[in-house]
Chains A and B, each alone.
Chain A
Amino acid sequence: MAQKNSTPRDITFRVRRFDPDSDTAPSWEEYRLNVTEGMTVLEALHELKAQQAPTLAWRSSCRMGVCGSCGMFINNLPQLACQTQVLHLGTDVVTVAPLPNYPNVKDLVPNLEPLIEKHAAIKPFIIHPKPQEMEEPTGEFLQTSEEREAFSQFTYCIKCGLCLAACPTVATDPLFLGPQALAQAYRYTVDNRDCGLQERLEAIDAFHGPYQCHLAGACSQACPKGVDPALGIQLLKRTLVLDSIGFGRKTSSVAKVSPLADVVKAIEEFAPPPRTVNQ
């Protein structure tokens, strides 16, 4: 196993290049760069573009691991380039390629349309028995912290797409919904404000739904935000099986709306903490 050597040194970057205007297939280019402690792969790409590869293309934005734009296949693992420090990879040759299982637009840019379309297909929004409550709320939805914890982990998804790049089923099946969409389907289904399982069944209770997940676990390994989509998918399977034998959630158990007057009264009755700032 390569040792983590934090000494600044020259690192060889093997970068996959593809120009749709002139290439029929991708090729590999090598660049050498002096890398200092703390330099991320994203920063290295900026340096390479400035000094050696002016036409190198990739997608990035926030550079701090919250937007999900810079997903790449770095040293044979899907990672966010902004969250990957070059010297922590522990190798003297760093390979940077576009995310697999997505069409490659140019160089390191993946076409993430499949991710977005599959996400949209599972209706990623609260479906409440009173739809007008979502548009013109008359009060607050009541939700305990336990009810929140049942799905909260899956709300951390930043739609970076690393999980679909890791999934072996996505590798061959273009119609498989994928870990991201299926985990989000669970997130909404189990939210106590939602009663939309029946509406989502057409998308998720079909062949290319959760039953084509075979728990390879690569998605959870790749996820940079700890969303653990594999957990979401297995829990979705359990939810679907229970629903098929009559133990699904009843519409009557969906979160009640607490009228605004009650909410205001609760706040007024609650003793506020002592002031800490002098007026």
Chain B
Amino acid sequence: MNTNKPTGYNNRLGLKGWAYGGRYGFERYLYLGHRLSGLGLVAYMVLHIIETANRIRGEQAWAGLMALFASAPFKVIEYLLFAAAVFHAFNGVRLMITELGFFLGKPKEPVYPYSTSVMRHRPLTYIIMVLAGLIILLGGSSLFFK
């Protein structure tokens, strides 16, 4: 395929196109949020596996590590991680359902004004985002207000 040989000025949006490509609906920003939260979670997961491996250095090393993670900056990071995980999980459930073609409606003759599968599953998207938001707020309340 000839797609690597552009004939003309390179007008590809590039990485900026992931963040903003035009006046599109908010599903495009959910895609961005899913990507960013996913990257953050992978980075955390790898660090977490390496960090918890410290137990093989013995009880004292472990206790020192736990004391470090109980400090304030880590509590904030923990909360942000929790928020990222909840958002990623809830949005992920929506993607799991819809990327297998469910909840999108059936193909039908397009009659103007057109309805799209994206608009049709928006109520589901709103419900999922509201639930995620509630859990993130509730999680924050138990972390910061005992």
Contacts and interface: CB of A to CB of B under 8 A. Distances in A.
B21 A218 contact: yes
A73 B35 CA distance: 26
A279 B108 CA distance: 40
A279 B50 CA distance: 91
Interface string A90-133: 00000000111111111000110110011001000000000000
B7 interface: yes
B107 A154 contact: yes
A101 B107 CA distance: 27
Interface residues of A, number: 61
A216 B17 CA distance: 12
Contact of B100 (A99, A221, A237): A237
A103 B107 contact: no
Contacts of B95: 214-215
Contacts of A105: 7-8
Given A171-B21, A215-B98, A217-B118, A226 B107 contact: no
A226 B100 contact: no
Interface residue SS majority, chain B:
loop
B116 A73 contact: no
A117 B7 CA distance: 14
A174 B3 contact: yes
Interface stretch (B25-33, B60-68, B73-81, B134-142): B25-33
B101 interface: yes
Interface string A156-169: 10000000001010
A13 to B, nearest CB: 18
A111 B8 CA distance: 7
A234 B117 contact: yes
Contacts of B32: 168
A26 interface: yes
A25 B22 CA distance: 21
A172 B14 contact: yes
Contacts of B88: none
Interface string B46-88: 0000000000000000000000000000000000000000000
A175 B28 CA distance: 21
B127 interface: no
A166 B105 CA distance: 22
Contacts of A26: 9
B8 A103 contact: yes
Nearest to A113: B2
B23 A217 contact: no
Given A218-B28, A221-B25, A238-B101, A103 B114 contact: no
Contacts of A73: 22
A152 B101 CA distance: 17
B123 interface: no
5 contacts: A73-B22, A104-B8, A118-B1, A166-B22, A171-B14
Interface of B: 1-4, 6-18, 21-25, 27-28, 30-32, 34-35, 95, 98-101, 104-112, 114-118
Given A77-B22, A230-B104, 19 more contacts: A99-B11, A100-B21, A102-B8, A102-B11, A103-B7, A117-B1, A118-B3, A149-B108, A172-B17, A174-B3, A216-B30, A217-B27, A217-B117, A220-B116, A226-B112, A230-B117, A231-B104, A234-B101, A235-B104
